[in-house]
């Protein structure tokens, strides 16, 4: 680990200056202390311990060049549930999500420390085959990113790159995935047309279909509705609801209502730190921390 | 630290309120805006400037294309045959190719016979001292040693359009102008009035030309085949000789390989000698047929009288095309015009390229451009792929990029010199030594040829392709790449399946630019293989059918040759325009083909952009 941070001790702000300790009595809020560079252990609901875990993150830190973006994140993502990451812009939600399938490797200046395991298999160990790892996870990006090819080819892309060319298998997977993404009825007559001719909402569902085509162990969604209108958003949310149970979903969202509607668990992040993590209903109705309450009620952020 | 930020937040409304308390300043600002602020703020002059620049460009392009088109199209139009009788009773007859006005020197007027001088002076006075003159294509080069002659209007006493004036295009000596007198078969006169002679000419000319074409075919195909086979046998002997030499050098005079090689040489020589007799017999046979055809053609002759009182007997086989210029109807004129175009497009050149067709040049240009594309596109695309996708950005890559861009500024003749030195003399000579040793010392690949020309132009156009491809690769959205990586694709799979297809239209644009640049380039070609007259096309019926080592004709070089190397430059000028027009049309056609392909790709890949 690059940087040891002891809870409750003096923290530094990078330039080595000593910063005042966080203290409930001093009236200084926890968020202000985080701004000042102090690290806190997250408030994690004990109910999470009862779930079967898919992804375990332990003391995960990430730097873009000199700037640290994630600070000692430790959390577990439960099996078959929808877990939402919320927090203000720039708090590291997307960075954390992209770290799970190592998409951050594409950025030259990124450095990480800490551990991540998927069903006990390390993600960041030296010998890990990144390509095999990514095949175990599906990802839906913020902006719909269909490939410049037909709808059919888009859906079966993960199989094509695996070298599967059996028409029967491909047809089957295509239909199953499109049905799974609630796009089959709209797309079944135009499978051989360009995917770029679909509407934005349809494109996003196509991306979901592509993400579930190779039956991944986990689905990563990076603000999947931010580029969509309310109707398309509702469709995607319905879809997430349908996928619940059969897939483990980690979703980043800006929209607090969306997190409340679709997720089973919610994690609140702030400036690269995990602040509170617990079952969605209790986090939204009765958060353990005042800061979380302030954020979800819109008092700051 | 954090508190200060909160404080500034609190102060915000105050500053906003402060803004509201000073309405005076705001009103002043608004007033000046309403009156129409500075000129620059409106941007109108810039619109005019930009539009004006575009207009100048368009006018220049249209002007150039119009000039080339009008003069290029006019070349083949059959005009009337004029006969001028001059004041010194000289007769000048032919086709008028152009006219100009000039100020004649007084000596010219004084040299006129006295009875014409007053008339000429009056004419000049009416035109404020200027006179018109016509450039007359007089032809009949073997009689008067001139192709063209200027005729000033004040020297002309009579202008005639002779009814039976014939324009004859010939295989040699250029055009002939004259009046038909007699038609002769085997030296016997069968018609001796212009009309009858012309009728006889029309009757026999077709079949004579047919026989002539047959003869040409025999010469190029049948004799060519025999020569080819003979050459092949000779090369076999030479190969055996070389093998013998090698055996002697490496094994000694009495070794088994040496004796075997000697035996082989004896065998090949026997075959060669045997074949030689066979070839000689075949050759004689073809020659005899050719002679028969020639003899048959020589029977038909036309006696013509020129307008300055001389006579000439022409063999019918000599005449490519003839027409009574002052009698032909408009439809026939159009027919002659189209026939000349057809000849231009289909036939080989004659008369030092100033007459006949440019088919070998069209063929050479197209083949060279296509080979160039086949070479430069994969090469450039792969280089750009590495630069953009694999190489880590750094000073080295920036330097390489700058160097590539600077390559575009190297004078094209330098590429020619490089091509000559590297491809012809280094690579070509090595190939010759390895594979064509039996043909040495005459080079096969060790001299200019269409392959080396294409490769030289491929180097010349490489920067264009690299730059365009890099731009196209950079324009592929990163979201698409990430989507592919997230699906578990490797880097190469992403490039192959997502990036390249998406960038393909941009790569095609690079290819189109490279094609336009390459097809129009002449200077380097002069060094690496373009010639004035290529005896054989680079693709023909002899195995291996594609002969990339051959020198070739190129339209651009043809233009240069016509315009600056021609003996008969006045006759060549119209051909320069026609050939230029043709070159522009061919480049346009090649580009349209590429653009059509690009648009199909665009439709396939980019329907909408979200």
Report the pLDDT value the prediction gives residue B40, as an integer from 0 to 100: 66
Does residue B6 belong to any structural domain of this protein? Answer: no
* Same domain for B603 and B454: yes
The number of domains in chain B is 3
Q: What is the pLDDT of residue A300?
A: 67
**Predicted local confidence at residue B26, as pLDDT:** 47
Domain boundary among B123, B149, B177: B177
Q: What is the pLDDT of residues A195-245, one digit of tens each?
A: 888 888 889 889 989 998 888 888 999 988 888 888 888 888 988 888 888
Distance from CA of B371 to the nearest CA of A (A): 30
Specify the CATH number for the domain of residue B168. Answer: 2.30.30
- Is position B535 within any domain? yes
Task: State residue B455's pLDDT score.
Answer: 93
Out of A135, A196, A210, name the one closest to residue B606 (CB).
A196
Nearest to A259 by CA among A209, A295, A217, A291: A295
Chain A residues in contact with B503 (beta carbon < 8 A): none
Per mean pLDDT, which range of A171-185, B61-75, B258-272 is the poorest? B258-272
Both B394 and B479 in a single domain? Answer: yes
**CA atoms within 13 A of residue A168's CA, in its CB half-sphere:** 0
pLDDT at B418 (0 to 100): 93
Structure tokens at B341: 């175009």
In terms of pLDDT, which residue wins out, B317 or B57? B57
Summarised one tens digit per residue, pLDDT across range B494-545 is 998 889 888 888 898 898 889 888 888 889 999 998 888 887 788 877 777 8
Confidence of residue B37 (pLDDT cuts 50, 70, 90): low
- A87 is written with which tokens? 């927090």
Burial readout B132-167 (b: 16 or more C-beta within 10 A, e: otherwise): ebbbbbbbbbebeeebbbebbbbbbeeeeebebbbb
Mean per-residue pLDDT, B557-562 = 89
Query: Does the pLDDT value for residue A13 go beyond 50?
Result: no
Contacts of B266 (CB under 8 A, 6+ apart): none
- Least confident range from B16-20, B44-48, B338-342: namely B16-20
- Per the structure, the complete domain to which residue B420 belongs is given by 356-609
Q: What percent of chain A has pLDDT above 70?
A: 90
In the block, tokens 């990076």 appear at: A222
Q: Is residue B422 part of a domain?
A: yes
Measured from the Cβ of residue B290, the count of other Cβ atoms closer than 10 Å reads: 17
Q: Would you say residue B24 has pLDDT above 60?
A: no
* B397 and B319 housed in the same domain: no
Neighbouring C-beta atoms of residue B439, cutoff 10 Å: 17
Give residue-wise pLDDT tens across range B357-374: 889 999 999 999 999 999
Which among A243, A287, A247, A246 has a CA at the least distance from the CA of A266? A287
Residue-wise burial string across B333-345, b where 16 or more C-beta atoms lie within 10 A, e elsewhere = beebbeebbebbe
CB A182 within 8 A of CB A242: yes
CB-based contact, B479 to chain A, within 8 Å: yes
Is A2 a residue whose pLDDT tops 80?
Answer: no
Position B465 scores a pLDDT of 93
Together in a domain, B453 and B512: yes
Which element (helix H / strand E) includes B554? Answer: none
In percent, the amount of chain A with pLDDT more than 90 equals 18
Structure tokens that stand for A195 in this block: 């995917």
- Please give the helix or strand (H or E) that residue A58 lies within, else none: strand A53-64
More confident residue, A248 or B5: A248
Q: Please indicate, yes or no, if residue B227 is contained in any of the structural domains.
A: yes
Say if residue B273 is in the same domain as residue B152. Answer: no
Residues B363 and B306 in one domain: no
Q: Residue B473 domain-assigned?
A: yes
Contact across the interface for B498 and A162, Cβ inside 8 Å: no
Looking at the predicted structure, is the pLDDT value of residue A7 above 70? no
Band the pLDDT of A19: cuts 50, 70, 90.
Answer: very low
**Are B412 and B559 part of one and the same domain?**
yes
**In a domain? residue B54:** no
B170 near A CB under 8 A: no
Query: Which residues are within 8 A (CB) of B289 and not within 5 positions of it... i.e. 6 or more apart?
Result: B218
Based on the domain organization, do B467 and B489 belong to the same domain?
Answer: yes
Indicate the average pLDDT of chain B.
84
Judged by a CB distance cut-off of 8 A, whether residue B313 touches chain A is no
Q: Are A7 and A240 in contact (CB under 8 A)?
A: no
Of B392, B198, B182, the closest CA to residue B301 belongs to B182
Which of B551, B523, B394, B387 lies closest to B460 in space, CA to CA? B523
pTM above 0.80, yes or no: no
> A43-44 and A273-279: which strand pairing?
parallel
Q: Hey, which residues does B158 pair with through a beta bridge?
A: B85
**Of B204 and B43, which is predicted with more confidence?**
B204
User: A210 vs B487: CB contact, 8 Å cut-off?
Assistant: yes
Looking at residue A62, what is its pLDDT? 92
Cα(B129)–Cα(B123) distance, rounded to whole angstroms? 8
Last residue of a domain, one of B177, B200, B218: B177
Residues facing residue A219 across a β-bridge:
A138, A249
Report how far residue B245's alpha carbon sits from residue B237's, in angstroms, rounded to the nearest whole number.
12
Q: Of B453, B380, B444, which is closest to residue B423 (Cα–Cα)?
A: B453
**CA proximity to A79, closest of A37, A42, A111, A50:** A50
> pLDDT: is B439 or B399 the higher one?
B399
User: B3 to chain A: which residues are within 8 Å by CB?
Assistant: 32
**Interchain CB contact of A253 with B (< 8 Å):** no
Taking the alpha carbons at both ends of chain B, their separation in whole angstroms is 42
**pLDDT > 90? residue B62:** yes
- Whichever domain contains B389, its CATH number is 1.10.3720.10
- Average of per-residue pLDDT across B107-129: 83
Q: Determine contact: B490 vs chain A, CB below 8 A.
A: yes
- DSSP string spanning B168-227? EEESSSSEEEEEEEEEEETTEEEE-SHHHHHHHHHHHHHHHHHHHHHHHHIIIIIHHHHH
Mean pLDDT for the stretch of residues B79-87: 89
- Asked whether residue B556 is domain-assigned, the answer is yes
Mean pLDDT of chain A: 83
- Say whether both B432 and B554 belong to one domain: yes
Which residue, B112, B146, B177, sits at the end of a domain? Answer: B177
| Token output for B42 | 């409106």
Give the mean model confidence (pLDDT) for residues B347-359.
Answer: 81
User: φ and ψ at A249, to 5 degrees?
Assistant: -120, 130
Pairing of strands A67-78, A53-64: antiparallel
B607 → closest Cβ in A196, A200, A207: A196
Mean pLDDT within A11-36: 55
Mean pLDDT to the nearest integer, B275-288: 87
B151 and B268 fall within a common domain: no
User: Which two three-digit tokens encode residue B517?
Assistant: 């640049």
Q: Is A156 on the interface with B (CB under 8 A)?
A: no
Which among A8, A122, A137, A11 is positioned nearest to A57, based on CA atoms? A122
Question: Does any domain span residue B521?
Answer: yes
Q: Are residues B433 and B549 in the same domain?
A: yes
Are B476 and B572 in the same domain? yes
The SS3 call for residue A57 is: strand
Cα angle B145, B146, B147 (rounded to 5 degrees) comes to 135
Choose the closest CB to B488 out of A32, A135, A196.
Answer: A135
Average pLDDT over residues A115-124: 88
Q: Residue A24 pLDDT more than 90?
A: no
């Amino acid at each position: 680990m690059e940087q040891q941070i002891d809870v409750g001790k003096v923290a530094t702000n990078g330039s080595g200056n000593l910063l005042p300790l966080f203290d409930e009595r001093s009236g200084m809020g926890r968020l202000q202390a985080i701004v000042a560079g102090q690290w806190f252990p997250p408030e994690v609901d004990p109910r999470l311990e009862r779930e079967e875990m898919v992804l375990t993150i332990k003391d995960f830190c990430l730097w873009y060049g000199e700037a640290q973006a994630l600070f000692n994140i430790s959390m577990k993502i439960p099996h078959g549930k929808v877990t939402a990451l919320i927090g203000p812009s720039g708090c590291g939600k997307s960075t954390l999500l992209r770290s799970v399938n190592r998409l951050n490797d594409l950025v030259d200046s990124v450095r990480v420390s800490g551990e991540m395991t998927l069903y006990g298999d390390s993600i960041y160990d030296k010998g890990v085959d990144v390509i095999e790892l990514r095949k175990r996870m599906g990802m839906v990006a913020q902006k719909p990113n269909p490939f410049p090819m037909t709808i059919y080819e888009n859906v079966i892309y993960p199989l094509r790159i695996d070298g599967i060319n059996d028409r029967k298998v491909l047809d089957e997977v295509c239909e199953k995935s499109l049905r799974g993404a609630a796009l089959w009825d709209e797309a079944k007559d135009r499978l051989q047309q360009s995917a770029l001719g679909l509407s934005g909402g349809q494109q996003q569902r196509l991306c979901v279909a592509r993400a579930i085509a190779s039956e991944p162990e986990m689905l990563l969604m990076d603000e999947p509705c931010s580029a969509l209108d309310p109707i398309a958003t509702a469709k995607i949310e319905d879809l997430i609801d349908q996928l619940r149970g059969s897939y483990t979903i980690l979703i980043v969202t800006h929209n607090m209502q969306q997190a409340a509607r679709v997720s089973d668990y919610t994690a609140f992040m702030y400036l690269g730190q995990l602040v509170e993590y617990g079952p969605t209903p209790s986090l939204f109705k009765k958060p353990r921390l005042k800061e979380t309450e302030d954020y979800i009620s819109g008092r700051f952020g | 630290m954090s508190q200060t930020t909160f404080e500034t937040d609190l102060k915000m409304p105050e500053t906003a309120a402060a803004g509201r308390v000073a309405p005076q300043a705001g009103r002043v600002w608004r007033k000046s805006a309403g009156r129409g602020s500075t000129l620059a703020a409106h941007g109108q002059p810039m619109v005019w400037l930009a539009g004006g620049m575009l207009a100048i460009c368009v006018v220049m392009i249209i002007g150039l294309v119009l000039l080339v088109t009008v003069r290029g199209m006019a070349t083949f139009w059959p005009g009337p045959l004029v006969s001028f009788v001059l004041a010194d009773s000289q007769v000048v007859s032919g086709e008028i190719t152009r006219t100009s006005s000039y100020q004649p020197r007084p000596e010219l007027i004084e040299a006129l016979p006295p009875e014409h001088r007053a008339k000429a002076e009056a004419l000049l006075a009416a035109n404020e001292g200027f006179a018109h003159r016509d450039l007359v294509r007089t032809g009949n080069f073997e009689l008067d040693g001139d192709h063209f002659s200027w005729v000033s209007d004040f020297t002309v006493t009579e202008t005639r359009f002779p009814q039976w004036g014939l324009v004859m295009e010939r295989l040699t000596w250029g055009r002939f102008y004259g009046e038909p007198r007699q038609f002769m078969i085997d030296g016997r006169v069968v018609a001796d009035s212009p009309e009858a002679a012309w009728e006889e000419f029309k009757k026999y000319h077709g079949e004579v030309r047919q026989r002539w074409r047959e003869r040409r075919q025999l010469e190029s195909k049948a004799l060519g085949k025999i020569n080819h086979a003979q050459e092949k046998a000779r090369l076999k002997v030479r190969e055996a000789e070389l093998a013998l030499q090698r055996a002697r050098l490496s094994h000694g005079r009495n070794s088994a390989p040496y004796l075997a090689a000697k035996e082989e040489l004896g065998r090949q020589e026997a075959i060669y000698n045997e074949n030689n007799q066979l070839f000689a017999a075949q050759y004689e046979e073809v020659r005899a047929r050719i002679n028969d055809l020639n003899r048959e053609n020589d029977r038909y002759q036309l006696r013509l009288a020129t307008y300055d009182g001389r006579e000439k007997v022409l063999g019918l086989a000599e005449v490519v095309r003839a027409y009574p210029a002052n009698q032909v109807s408009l439809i026939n004129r159009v027919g002659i015009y189209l026939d000349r175009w057809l000849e231009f497009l289909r036939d080989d050149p004659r008369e030092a390229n100033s007459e006949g067709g440019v088919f070998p040049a069209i063929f050479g240009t197209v083949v060279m451009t296509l080979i160039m594309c086949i070479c430069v596109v994969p090469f450039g695309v792969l280089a750009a792929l590495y630069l953009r996708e694999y190489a880590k950005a750094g000073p080295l890559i920036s330097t390489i990029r700058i160097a590539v861009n600077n390559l575009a500024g190297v004078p094209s003749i330098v590429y020619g010199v490089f091509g000559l030195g590297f491809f012809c003399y280094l690579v070509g000579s090595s190939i010759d030594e390895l594979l064509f040793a039996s043909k040495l010392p005459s080079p096969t690949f060790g001299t200019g040829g269409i392959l080396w020309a294409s490769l030289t132009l491929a180097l010349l156009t490489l920067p264009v392709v690299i730059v365009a491809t890099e731009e196209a690769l950079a324009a592929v959205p990163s979201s698409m790449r990430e989507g592919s990586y997230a699906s578990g694709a490797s880097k190469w799979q992403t490039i192959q399946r997502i990036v390249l297809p998406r960038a393909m239209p941009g790569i095609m644009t690079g290819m189109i630019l490279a094609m336009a640049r390459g097809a129009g380039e002449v200077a380097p070609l002069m060094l690496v293989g373009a010639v004035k007259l290529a005896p054989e096309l680079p693709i023909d019926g002899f195995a291996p059918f594609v002969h990339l080592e051959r020198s070739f004709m190129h339209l651009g070089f043809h233009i240069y040759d016509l315009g600056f190397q021609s003996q008969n430059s006045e006759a060549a000028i119209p051909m320069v325009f026609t050939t230029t027009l043709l070159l522009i049309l061919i480049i346009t056609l090649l580009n349209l083909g590429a653009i059509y392909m690009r648009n199909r790709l665009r439709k396939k890949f980019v329907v909408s952009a979200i």
